[in-house]
C-alpha cells in the first residue's frame, strides 16, 4: 500500500492556541499537543468522507491509539496559530500509522508517530478496516 517511502495520504489542520490550552507558564500543556494531533486525524478522516460515529454505527468499529512516540521541540504559546499535519505512512488490515507534526510558520514545535488500531466497538478486539475505507486511503 505504500509506494517506496511516499505516504498514502497527507493532511493539514489549523489550530489556534486558546488560554485553556496553556499551563501556568503560558505555554501549551504537554497533553494538549495529543489533543491537537487527535483533532487533525479526525478531521482528516472527515475530509475523506468518513465520520467516526457513522463508522461505529454502520460497521461496528472504532479507532484507538495503540502506541505513540512524541518529541516536544519548541513551546507553543497562547494565541499562536498552529498547523497540525497528519501523514499516513502505513496501512495494514487492522491498523494505521501516522507521522504527525505541529508547526508554527517554519518552526516544528512537536512531532510524533501514532499507531492506530481498528477495533470491534463492542468486543474491543482487533477488526479489519472496512474495504470502502481502504479504498479511500488508496485513492
Q: Which residues are catalytic?
A: 23
CB < 8 Å & 24+ apart, contacts of 34-40 = 34/68, 34/70, 36/82, 36/84, 36/102, 37/84, 37/86, 37/100, 37/102, 37/112, 37/114, 38/65, 39/13, 39/15, 39/84, 40/11, 40/12, 40/13, 40/15, 40/84, 40/85, 40/86, 40/100
Amino acid at each position: 500500500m505504500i509506494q517506496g517511502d511516499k505516504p498514502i495520504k497527507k493532511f493539514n489542520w489549523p489550530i489556534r492556541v486558546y488560554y485553556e490550552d496553556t499551563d501556568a507558564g503560558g505555554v501549551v500543556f504537554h497533553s494538549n499537543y495529543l489533543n491537537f494531533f487527535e483533532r487533525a486525524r479526525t478531521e482528516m478522516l472527515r475530509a475523506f468522507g468518513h465520520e467516526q460515529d457513522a463508522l461505529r454505527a454502520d460497521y461496528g468499529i472504532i479507532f484507538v491509539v495503540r502506541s505513540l512516540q512524541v518529541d516536544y521541540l519548541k513551546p507553543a504559546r497562547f494565541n499562536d496559530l498552529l498547523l497540525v499535519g497528519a501523514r499516513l505512512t502505513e496501512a495494514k488490515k487492522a491498523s494505521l500509522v501516522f507521522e504527525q507534526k505541529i508547526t508554527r510558520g517554519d518552526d516544528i514545535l512537536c512531532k510524533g508517530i501514532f499507531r492506530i488500531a481498528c477495533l470491534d466497538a463492542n468486543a474491543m478486539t482487533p477488526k479489519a478496516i472496512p474495504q470502502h475505507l481502504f479504498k479511500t486511503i488508496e485513492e
